[in-house]
């Protein structure tokens, strides 16, 4: 793994970087809610990917001591309910999507069966 300078950071630099990452995470979480409410799942998924990359950056930080700070605790208190809301709405969207897909598949199957069994477009009526 290449050294990107993370291991050479002071505790204060690590804490500042972590807080900045978590502030960005909060911002992206708000964006996720906006896109899921608009049912813009393509953009939602792009933001999920961006937020995942941010989580990967957070995981590379050599220390988690910043989690003891009041600033982080305040951020966590804002993030946790947003994450729960995103999960709830994403599950709801998934259930709705599966139901819609099921209806479409059912329609396709019924139409196909009807076309094959009872209709002949070669016959004159």
**What mean pLDDT is reported for the chain?**
84
| Residue ranges per structural domain of the chain | 10-116
Residue-wise pLDDT for 47-75, tens only, equals 999 999 999 999 999 988 999 999 999 99
32 burial via Cβ count (<10 Å: 0-12, 13-18, 19+): buried
Place of tokens 């608009």: 38
Q: What is the pLDDT of residue 52?
A: 95
- Inform me whether the pLDDT recorded for 122 exceeds 80: no
**């930080």: which residue's tokens?**
61
Specify the residue for token string 């099921």.
Answer: 102
CA separation for the pair 71, 15 (Å, rounded): 10
| Res 96: pLDDT | 84
In order, the DSSP letters of 7-75 are GG--HHHHHHHHHHHHHHHHHHHHHHHHHHHTT-HHHHHHHHHHHHHHHHHHHH-S--GGGGSHHHHHH
pTM: 0.74
Cα separation of 7 and 118, whole Å? 72
**Average pLDDT of 5-15?**
82
Question: Whole-angstrom Cα distance, residue 57 to residue 6?
Answer: 10
- Token pair, residue 105, equals 């598949």
């Amino acid at each position: 793994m290449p050294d990107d300078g993370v291991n050479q950071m002071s505790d204060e630099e690590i804490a500042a970087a972590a807080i900045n990452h978590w502030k960005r995470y909060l911002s992206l979480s708000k964006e996720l809610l906006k896109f899921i409410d608009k049912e813009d799942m393509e953009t939602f998924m792009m933001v999920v990917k961006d937020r995942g990359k941010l989580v990967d950056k957070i995981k590379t930080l050599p220390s988690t001591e910043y989690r003891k700070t009041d600033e982080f605790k305040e951020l966590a208190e804002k993030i946790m309910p947003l994450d729960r809301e995103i999960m709830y709405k994403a599950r709801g969207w998934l259930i709705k999507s599966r139901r819609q897909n099921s209806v479409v598949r059912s329609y396709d199957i019924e139409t196909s069966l009807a076309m094959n069994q009872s209709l002949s477009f070669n016959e004159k009526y």
